[in-house]
Amino acid sequence: MLTGENIVQLVSGLLHWAYAQAGISSLAGVIDPIISAVVMFGFIAVFVMFLVWMERKVSAHMQSRIGPNRVGPLGLLQTVADAIKLTIKEDVKPVNRDKVPYFIAPIVAFVATFMGMVVIPFDKGVVVQDLNVGILYIIAITGFTVIAILTAGWSSNNKYALLGGFRSAAQIISYEVSLVLSVVPIIMITGTLSLSGIVEYQKQAGYWFILPQIVAFLIFITSATAEANRAPFDIPEAESELIGGFHTEYSGVKFAMFFLGEYIAVVVSSAVAVTLFLGGWLPLPYLDFLHIPGFVWFLAKLLLVIYLIMAFRWTFPRLRVDQLMDFGWKVLIPISIINILATAVVWFCLYGKGAQ
Amino acid sequence: MGIVRYFRNILAGLWNLLVGLSVTTKYFFKGTTTQQYPEERLPLPVRSRSMIKLIYDDEKDQFNCVACLMCMKACPNSCIKLEGVRQADGKRRMTTFKLDFSTCIFCGYCVEACGFDALTFVSEEYENSVYKRGSLLQDEQAMKWVRPHSPAAEAAPIENTAPATAGAQS
């Protein structure tokens, strides 16, 4: 039967056979991660291109338009054309920039979010590195983007970029708190930080965590949208106020890095949401007789959550900066703390002390 | 009281967000209203005024124009230039007619001034883009237009009977 695990075993078996043939078996520990990284980068690049196309189509249809339909079938190659345009574009740099941070910032913004993909389980056993502190790792890694954004805003030597960077830093730090707090009940219930372990728990329990933890799911989605700097939380790059925010002075490939980073952040947070709340690679209830591979289920759920985030962007108006802070600190954080307490009480009453 | 209002506000906000999402989701599945212009064209009303044409009489094999110069005088931009000759039978006939569409504002004064049913607006031709500015200076051959032999259609009430292209109405 075709499962993600079989594919991975087949590929790794072939690779190790190739190593043995080439006489470099001792280097497998070095080459394997590189191959994983390249495969993951290829996947994410294609997926992000698809997402950009999808976002444009979704927004178009929500506004009764058609969207890109000229380049390739259904306009699917539009993003490819855009990517080519971005890479061959002149890299315009401000004269008074701070050279080294200006150069490093987009790389950090891209790498920090890209590294989050390491622990995402696409299927049972299909994961680059199944860390036993997976959630903690993702939260820590995605927190790096704030450094990149602040660096970009500071080194551009531009008022708008600096203001955007400041706003972004304030926003991400605020919403990071509620993001972490919304995940805590899941960890309390499952007793593990590993993403695969959480999916396995949902498989044994027979339900997905979106049912008992709908509040946590809503808080997580909201915070993840804010973390990714997407509308309605796109104050750091609000066009009408701050031009482009922190990436005002970036163009060409460097801008593409920021752009890619933003979409990868969406992918990573949606993937975490799918894993934590929607049962990861598990099939829909009563549909497991279809024998659809787990990664198909995972990608379907992933696209659903990403569609939700896109619908947010094209539905809700942008929050004002003080409302943004109010919402984060006065609504999301108290609610998530109440959610933690309620979960603790309910689970204690249901399963007693040894609730695992 | 404060805590009740706090939670009520949150629930009301959540409800409002759901209402907004339902609206966008409804439109997402509703279909598009875009007319993809070069492939699809909107049907024009029969008597829409798009392009000025010189009426050519098929049966008499000549233009209706008698070169009375009324259109030339009526033109506010002086974009009409025409000449005529007196024929052997004593009637005047137009020999050259030039209308510079680069200065024409389609005010229609020339059509109104014409007393011999020689100038008219047509509805079917409205794409005036050209590659060279000189192409906008049209002569009588470019402006030649034969009225369709269907007086009943002319007298028909105003409605959209222009040929509609596929998918134009959605």
Per-residue pLDDT at A285: 76
Residue corresponding to tokens 């959540």: B14
A323 Cβ under 8 Å from any chain B Cβ:
no
In terms of Cα–Cα distance, which of B49, B56, B46, B51 is closest to B116?
B56
Q: Which of A28-37, A160-169, B5-14, B131-140 has the lowest mean pLDDT?
A: A28-37
Per-residue pLDDT at A14: 84
How far, CA to CA in Å, does A159 sit from each of A154, A247, A248, B56, B69?
9, 12, 10, 68, 66
Q: Taking CA atoms, what residue in A is nearest to B10?
A: A331
The model's pLDDT over B39-53, given as tens digits with 9 standing for 90+, comes to 888 777 777 888 888
Residues sharing a CB contact under 8 Å with residue A319, sequence separation 6 or more, in sequence order: A232, A233, A235, A327
Q: With 80 as the cut, is the pLDDT of residue A183 above it?
A: yes
Angle between the A28-62 and A4-22 helix axes, to the nearest 10 degrees? 140
Q: Is A116 exposed, middle or buried (0-12, 13-18, 19+ CB in 10 A)?
A: buried
* Residue B131: alpha-carbon gap to chain centroid: 20
Q: With 80 as the cut, is the pLDDT of residue A291 above it?
A: no
B51-147: in CATH 3.30.70.3270: yes
Asked whether B163 and B153 are in contact (CB, 8 A), the reply is: no
DSSP classification of residue A233: S
Q: Which of A76-90, A124-138, A231-245 has the lowest mean pLDDT?
A: A231-245
Q: Name the token pair of A96.
A: 């008074």
Report the alpha-carbon distance of residue A138 to residue A121 in Å, rounded: 12
How many angstroms separate the most distant Cα atoms in chain B?
A: 104
The model's pLDDT over A49-91, given as tens digits with 9 standing for 90+, comes to 899 999 888 888 888 888 888 887 888 888 888 888 888 888 8
SS3 A291: coil
Residues sharing a CB contact under 8 Å with residue B119, sequence separation 6 or more, in sequence order: B52, B53, B54, B55, B65, B71, B110, B111
Angle between the A214-227 and A333-351 helix axes, to the nearest 10 degrees? 150
Indicate the residue of B10, B28, B36 with minimum beta-carbon distance to A61. Answer: B28
Mutate to test the interface with B, among A55, A59, A62 (most CBs of B within 10 A): A62
> What is the C-alpha radius of gyration for chain A, rounded to an integer number of angstroms?
21
Residue corresponding to tokens 């991660």: A33
Per-residue pLDDT at B168: 44
Report the alpha-carbon distance of residue A314 to residue B29 in Å, rounded: 14
Distance from CA of A287 to the nearest CA of B (A): 26
A22 Cβ under 8 Å from any chain B Cβ:
no
Residues sharing a CB contact under 8 Å with residue A344, sequence separation 6 or more, in sequence order: A185, A188
Asked whether A197 and A190 are in contact (CB, 8 A), the reply is: yes
Indicate the residue of A60, A63, A316 with minimum beta-carbon distance to B20. Answer: A316
How many angstroms separate the most distant Cα atoms in chain A?
A: 65
Report the alpha-carbon distance of residue B114 to residue B52 in Å, rounded: 12
Asked whether B98 and B137 are in contact (CB, 8 A), the reply is: yes
Q: Name the token pair of A35.
A: 């191959």
Residue type, A90: E
Residue B119, strand partner residues: B54
User: In chain A, pLDDT over 90 holds for what percent of residues?
Assistant: 3
Q: With 70 as the cut, is the pLDDT of residue B152 above it?
A: no
User: In chain B, pLDDT over 70 holds for what percent of residues?
Assistant: 86
Cis peptide before A73 (omega within 30 of 0): no
**Contact yes or no for B10 and A331 at CB 8 A:** yes
Indicate the residue of B10, B23, B30 with minimum beta-carbon distance to A64. Answer: B30
Report the alpha-carbon distance of residue B19 to residue B23 in Å, rounded: 6
Asked whether A118 and A129 are in contact (CB, 8 A), the reply is: yes
Q: What is the pTM of this model?
A: 0.79
DSSP classification of residue A126: B
Residue type, A208: W
What are the chain A neighbours of B2 within 8 Å (beta carbons)? none
What are the chain A neighbours of B17 within 8 Å (beta carbons)? 315-316
Report the alpha-carbon distance of residue A152 to residue A103 in Å, rounded: 9
**Contact yes or no for B24 and A60 at CB 8 A:** no
Q: With 50 as the cut, is the pLDDT of residue B170 above it?
A: no
Report the alpha-carbon distance of residue A260 to residue A82 in Å, rounded: 12
DSSP for A166-183, written as a single string: HHHHHHHHHHHHHHHHHH
What's the whole-number mean pLDDT along residues A314-324?
83
Report the alpha-carbon distance of residue A223 to residue A327 in Å, rounded: 10
Per-residue pLDDT at A24: 75
Q: Which of A54-58, A91-95, B71-75 has the lowest mean pLDDT?
A: A91-95
Indicate the residue of A58, A65, A315 with minimum beta-carbon distance to B21. Answer: A315
**How many Cβ pairs closer than 8 A exist between chain A and B?**
38
DSSP classification of residue B133: G
Report the alpha-carbon distance of residue A145 to residue A151 in Å, rounded: 10
Report the alpha-carbon distance of residue A246 to residue A113 in Å, rounded: 17
